[in-house]
Structure 1
Amino acid sequence: MQELYLNPHQARRRQPTAYEDLLGDSIERAYAAGVHDLAGLVAHLNRTGPNCPAGGVWTEDSYRAEIARLAAEC
């Protein structure tokens, strides 16, 4: 019997952009460092990047909007 599993890339329509890779890597590093709340994640992004695409610093609202935008593209 074939073992079933979720391939994390099975629903993706295209390769991630360099920006998306950087954002994902930064989020993963934040989680690995023990950051698990939105305020901490936003602070991590402001310290390490990537920059907020709208310019300026990341805020909780800009993070939510950017993640919603990226999710809508999937």
Structure 2
Amino acid sequence: MNDTRQDVYLNPHQARRRQPTQFEDLLGDSIERAYAAGIHDLPALVAHLNRTGPGCPHNDGIWTETLYQEEIARLAA
């Protein structure tokens, strides 16, 4: 079957309203590296971010589980 329709469900940027900031790019890259290294739980992810960055935009750059959850919720809004 030769279907020429564009599959919008596979467009990874369909909900994006703007280009990501440098911080968002760095955070996403760091999270991807953590997942690739087998890190999948929140405490280990927060520890990874504190080791590798980027730093938390609050709390003198130190991530906590609560601050991570709040920042991800803010970025998702």
TM-score (ref. length: structure 1): 0.91
SS in 2 for 1:34: coil
Alignment of 1:1-74 (within 5 A): 1=3, 2=5, 4=7, 5-56=9-60, 57-72=62-77
SS in 1 for 2:75: helix
Task: Give structure 2 stretches of 5+ with no counterpart.
Answer: none
Task: Give structure 1 stretches of 5+ with no counterpart.
Answer: none
Identity of aligned residues (%): 75
Taking only aligned residues, the RMSD between alpha carbons, in angstroms, comes to 1.1
Query: How far off its partner does 1:30 sit?
Result: 0.2
Pair member with larger Rg: 2
- Provide runs of 4+ in structure 1 moved above 3 Å: none
User: More displaced, 35-44 or 50-59?
Assistant: 50-59
Q: Which has the higher contact order (CA 8 A, sep 6+)?
A: 1
